[in-house]
Structure formats: structure tokens, C-alpha cells
Structure 1
Amino acid sequence: MSKKRILLTHPLYHLASGRYADKFELKTLDLNAFQTSENPQQYLLNEVNEFKPHALYFIGFMMKFTHAKNTPKPIVNDHFFNNLVYKDLKLISNNGAGYDQVDARAAKKHSVIVTNTPDVVSDCTADLTLHLILSCARRSTEFEQRLRNGEWQGSKAIFGIDLKNKVLGIVGMGSIGKEVAKRALPFGMKIIYHQRSKSKEFPDDYYRASLDELLHESDFVSLHVPLNENTKHLINKNNLCKMKKDSYLINTSRGPVVNESDLVDALKEGKTLSGAGLDVFEFEPNVHKELLNIPNVTLLPHIGTQTIDTRRSMEKLCWDNIENVIEEESKGLTVVNEQK
């Protein structure tokens, strides 16, 4: 019996591919060729049609790092599925909690299961969120820059703030938001959160039904929502002005959740925001040039899950899903588009 075929859009870094090569026929996409292609979607489609995989091991974030100006988003969409020349594709195993580069509804229409890696990213992303909160509070980016410039503390004194008794507003109390809250409470922070419904894990008085209400009350606003048509530019000029004076915006979710130009304007005006901590950007890998020169803005290159432990766990869960669906003919372990 011939082996089932798995196409990898990205090499394995933390798991030995040999154990999977014994079970499956593997092929890894030429990442450089994909990223420099004039039409990345068509390049991926050609590779899939040629190799005819039963599963696609998919890392969505790398799809953004292309030179094509008009790359469809999501790149795996109804057009993609309609142009498959075979019907063996059963699974897209997405390496990452976010799967905005895959149209899960279109996949379901074509009977393709989509899985992701949700809970395994929660701890490390929450850790990084606290790092950004602390960096903003203690103005560590400014102090470090002064030190690197040979200024010690600099000629003009600047002061940070304590976290104790500060209000942390969490937008999206999913698995990551919950871990952020658990980490912030021992610092003496007060937690409030906003989402569509209350969480049973936190007291009722933590909940804010209105986003505006949360923005108005919070000293720190931390974003933990998926990217979709409802959350794109969730934070914009219309509500940035409603944030508390001397507050901070933290984003470790997805870049387009924030209108980056509006954020720059708010930071430059300085009427509400005192700073920001950003691990994601609207047009990454490009960063708004003015963000680079605004004091007390900590910028990181999308490293929320970039630890050896977490990346190994993510890869393992991806392959557990592949084995579950392709070998065991089951429904998948962490499915985002339940099949009928």
C-alpha cells in the first residue's frame, strides 16, 4: 500500500522528520520560491496539484511574507479549492492558533478539515504579553536606548509606573487572555475584560459588555482576539480617543486588529496613550516608520510563540492531527470547522 502524502509549507524545526517519513511520503515547499513568486496562491496551488497531498502541514504566518502585492487573503480560499484537480486533500493542519490565511468555511464546503494549535500557545504568548506590559510600565525601551547611546539615564529624567492597582483591560478572554489575567493578578493589577459573553472563570464584576467602557477604565488594554471581518481595525481613531489618559495599548493577537496609522496619530498626540507594546503589525513584516521613533513603544517581530518548548509542542500537535485524520480516519483533535 502506498504511503499517504503530506505537503509541508514550512520545514520541521523541532521534530525529527524521519519518524514521519517512515509513515508518510513527505514533500517540503520551496519556501524561497514561494515567497518570491509573483502569484503565491497559484504557486501553492500548482505544488498541491502536482504532489496531490492527503494533508497540508500549513504555517499561515509565512504566507504574509511574500513580494506579491495582491496576494489573496486568505490564500487558501474557495478559489483555491475550486481549482484543485483531485479530491484526496482531507486536512489542513495549521501550525498556529490563528488561521486567518485559511478560509475554514470554504474548506468545510469542500469537506476538508482544518485544525489549529490553540492551547499550546497560551502560556508563552501570555508571558510575552506581561513582558510588554512591564516594558511599557518601566519604560525599559527608552532606558535601554539611552544606555546604548552612552547616556546612562540621560539628561532628562523619565519615570515609569507601578503595576499595583492599575487596571488591565483584556479584550478577548480566551485561553491566552485567561493566562494573561492569571499572571497579572499577582502583580496587584485589577482585571476587567470584554467579549461577547461572560466567562465562568472570573467574577461577574470583571466583565464589561461594552468595549468603550473597557477602554475608558483601563490603564493597560491588551488585545487577544482572532482576526476576522468583525475584528479588523477593532482599535481605531474612533475609540483610541476614548482610552484613559496615560494608558497603554498591548497587542499580541494580530496586527490588523489595530489601525496602525490611527495608533501612530494617537501616540504622537499624546492626549490619551502614553505608549504601546506591539508584537504584531498591520502590514508585517513592514512596520510603520513613525512607530520606530516614538518613545516608550516596545516593538517585537512577532515572536509570541517563538520558544523552543512551544514551537515543539505546536509541531507535535500538528502531526497528531495529521495522524488522527489521515491514519486513524478520525475527525481531528483541534478542529476549527466541524464537519457534518
Structure 2
Amino acid sequence: MAGDPKNSAELLLVAFFPPFLVADLEKEYVLHDFFNAEDPEALLAEVGPRIRGIVAGGMKGPDEELINRLENLEIISSFSVGYDATDVVAAQNRGVIVTHTPDVLTDDVADLGMAFIIMAPRRIAEAERHLRAGKWKLARMDLGTNLRGKKLGIVGLGRVGSAVAMRAEGFGLDIGFHDIMPKDVPYRSYPDLLSMAEDSDILFISCQGGESTRNLIDADVFDALGPKGFLINVARGTIVDEDALVVALQENRIAGAAVDVFRDEPNAPEALMGTENVVMTPHIASSTHETRRAMADLVLANLRAHFAGEPVPTPVPNQR
């Protein structure tokens, strides 16, 4: 907690944040750490009426109950481009502004996505494990799959999907997409997800999370993708039915997968830990010094603008 309580807005932290963001926030605001509180209820009872802002994360945000308990809440500033962890409807019903950090992390997420598109078919993670385990002297690995001419199906051609498509063109991939909004792009458009999965060698997930896309990628999609197909997910873990993914990988109903996100973070499915044909990373798509600094700057810019009575730079779309 820092700042002069008489002059500084009081904020509730509901997720883990980089120390440099917390340090910058402490220079201007009074902070209350709800995420690490030993007794969250006692904390709310003490400071709840004074809270004017929440700093949220992409995977940890305020639900309707918390939003409604904070009678003087004015703004929720999310340290993420995704905001499905925050109940935006409840916030809007209260007249609370919700902001996020778009654009600044697009390139990093797309870079990891393209790395996954290379790693999974070429079996790069498997090859490294093979070498480290001392197996090279004993046996050769099975062959991988090349990229040129393969069909890449992108689920959600937004900022990240478009950036991945641009990168994939340089590798000679044949690009298609499925999106709920029409797009004026030179790529093949598919009217439904299953038809694209059937026609794709690699299915890339870059759509929004939330209830509307929960378990969108299920057993039917894996069956359509088939035993030579690969799944890539750098979007949200909730979009993929993880139980169906485990079965598809272990029964070789798909060739492989690469995932950076999971349904119940920071927990990844135990069943995948010993599965060879999957690449897994702990939600690192935007984890670079430069991007996390830029995200922190946007969180601060949104808070500063609001408390100065100015329009916030990056509100979430379609705020009333």
C-alpha cells in the first residue's frame, strides 16, 4: 500500500502482476491485494466501500458478486487483451468502465503461434527430448511433416489470426479461415468450423474466449481434423475440450498439438505430461519484457485518464 490515502484512489488487485507494474501503481494509488489476501472477506469488509478501481488479469477478474459489492467502483483495468475473466455485463449494468490492453501483444502471440506451427509438425520438442534422454545413439526418431503447401485453418481472423496468416504466407502455407464476421482478405473463407477442420492440415485457434466459445473445439472437430492434422491453441484454454484433446492425442486421432493455454490455469492436464505428440508452454505468448512493459503502460494510461476525467484509451469493445 502506498500513496497518500487522502489524495489517491484506492484499487483492488485481483490477480498476480509483474512487480514493476505494482511498483508503478503504488506511486499513484493506494493498493489492496485481494489476490494474495489471507482473509479476502475481512479485506473487503474493511476497504470495500473505498475501492474505486480494480486491476484485473486475463485469467483472474471480478465476477458479478464482487463488482456489485464494491459500491463506489468506477473502473476495471485489465492487464490483458482478453477480458473473459471479468463479468463485463455486470460492470456495464453498474456503469463501470472496463479497459484492456489490445494491439501491444499481437506480434508476440503471433510469433509463438508461428513457432508452434513449425514445432508440432516438425516434432522439434520431441526431438529435443529424444536427444536429452540419450536416445540418439540408440534409435532414430520418426520423421516429421513439412509445411510448404499444407492447409492452415485459422479459427478467428482477428488481430492475432491475421498476424499469424501474414507469417504463414512466408512459409508457403495455404491459408483459410472461419470467423463470425466477414473479412475482406485474400484467404479462403469457410462457412462452418467442421468443414474447415476437414480441409485443414493445421487448425489454429485465435478466437475470443468466454461462454460463447467454451468447448468449441471438441471431439467432432478432432475427428474432422483427422489423424494427420495438428491443433494449435494460443487463445484461451476454455475454447478446447481438454478431455477430448487428451483422447485425440493418446489414441492418435490427431497427429499432434501445441498449446500455450489451459482450462484451469496454472494446472495442465496430468494426462498430457507423458504424451509425446504435444508441445506445452505455461501461457507465455505475451511473455517478453517489451510487451509486458507496454501492457503495464496501458493499464496505467487507462487508470490515469479515467481518474483525470478523460476518455480511457482502450475500453473493451461495445461498451454502452
Q: TM-score, normalised by structure 2?
A: 0.90
Indicate which of 301, 304, 323 corresponds to 2:285: 304
Question: Aligned pair in 2 of structure 1 residues 154, 275: CA closer, same or farther (>3 Å)?
Answer: farther
**How many correspondences in the alignment?**
314
Question: Aligned pair in 2 of structure 1 residues 331, 235: CA closer, same or farther (>3 Å)?
Answer: same
The residue correspondences of 1:42-121 to structure 2 (distance < 5 A) are 42=41, 45-46=44-45, 49=48, 52-61=50-59, 63=60, 76-84=62-70, 86-87=71-72, 89-121=73-105
1:7 alignment partner, SS class: strand
Aligned residue for 1:194?
178
CA contact (8 A) 1:267 1:275 kept: yes
CA distance in 2, matches of 1:91, 1:250: 34
2:249 alignment partner, SS class: helix
Deviation at 1:4?
A: 2.6
CA contact (8 A) 1:146 1:153 kept: no
Q: Specify the code of the residue in structure 2 equivalent to 1:280.
A: V
1:33 alignment partner, SS class: coil
1:129 alignment partner, SS class: helix
> For structure 2, which runs of at least 5 residues remain unmatched after alignment?
1-5
Aligned residue for 1:282?
263
Q: Specify the code of the residue in structure 2 equivalent to 1:250.
A: I
Deviation at 1:325?
A: 1.1
CA distance in 2, matches of 1:226, 1:213: 20
CA contact (8 A) 1:136 1:276 kept: yes
CA distance in 2, matches of 1:46, 1:191: 54
| Partner deviation per Cα, 1:102-124 (whole Å, 9 max, x = no partner) | 11011011010000112111110
CA distance in 1, matches of 2:237, 2:43: 24
Aligned residue for 1:4?
9
2:197 alignment partner, SS class: helix
Question: Aligned pair in 2 of structure 1 residues 339, 259: CA closer, same or farther (>3 Å)?
Answer: closer
Q: Specify the code of the residue in structure 1 equivalent to 2:29.
A: E
Aligned residue for 1:138?
122
Aligned residue for 2:311?
331
1:319 alignment partner, SS class: helix
CA contact (8 A) 1:324 1:330 kept: yes
Q: Structure 1 residue 212 and structure 2 residue 194: aligned?
A: yes
CA contact (8 A) 1:58 1:93 kept: yes
Indicate which of 238, 243, 247 corresponds to 2:225: 243
Question: Aligned pair in 2 of structure 1 residues 43, 312: CA closer, same or farther (>3 Å)?
Answer: farther
Deviation at 1:53?
A: 2.7
2:11 alignment partner, SS class: strand
Q: Specify the code of the residue in structure 1 equivalent to 2:7.
A: S
> For structure 1, which runs of at least 5 residues remain unmatched after alignment?
64-74
Question: Aligned pair in 2 of structure 1 residues 126, 47: CA closer, same or farther (>3 Å)?
Answer: farther
The residue correspondences of 1:127-206 to structure 2 (distance < 5 A) are 127-152=111-136, 154-200=138-184, 202-203=185-186, 205-206=187-188
Q: Percent identity?
A: 33
CA distance in 2, matches of 1:216, 1:195: 16
| Partner deviation per Cα, 1:153-188 (whole Å, 9 max, x = no partner) | 651431112111111111001101111111111011
CA contact (8 A) 2:114 2:168 kept: yes
Aligned residue for 1:26?
30
Deviation at 1:141?
A: 1.4
CA distance in 2, matches of 1:326, 1:313: 20
Q: How well do the aligned residues superpose, as a CA RMSD in angstroms?
A: 2.2
Larger deviation, residues 94-103 vs 3-12: 3-12
CA contact (8 A) 1:248 1:274 kept: yes
CA contact (8 A) 1:164 1:187 kept: yes
Q: Specify the code of the residue in structure 2 equivalent to 1:49.
A: G
CA contact (8 A) 1:135 1:141 kept: yes
Q: Structure 1 residue 229 and structure 2 residue 241: aligned?
A: no
Q: Specify the code of the residue in structure 2 equivalent to 1:282.
A: R
Q: Report which structure shows greater RCO (CA 8 Å, sep ≥6).
A: 1
Q: TM-score, normalised by structure 1?
A: 0.85
Aligned residue for 1:125?
109
1:253 alignment partner, SS class: coil
CA distance in 2, matches of 1:47, 1:123: 42
CA contact (8 A) 2:154 2:161 kept: yes
Indicate which of 8, 15, 19 corresponds to 1:13: 19
Q: Specify the code of the residue in structure 1 equivalent to 2:176.
A: I
Q: Specify the code of the residue in structure 1 equivalent to 2:10.
A: R
1:246 alignment partner, SS class: coil
| Partner deviation per Cα, 1:299-328 (whole Å, 9 max, x = no partner) | 10111111101100000011111111111x
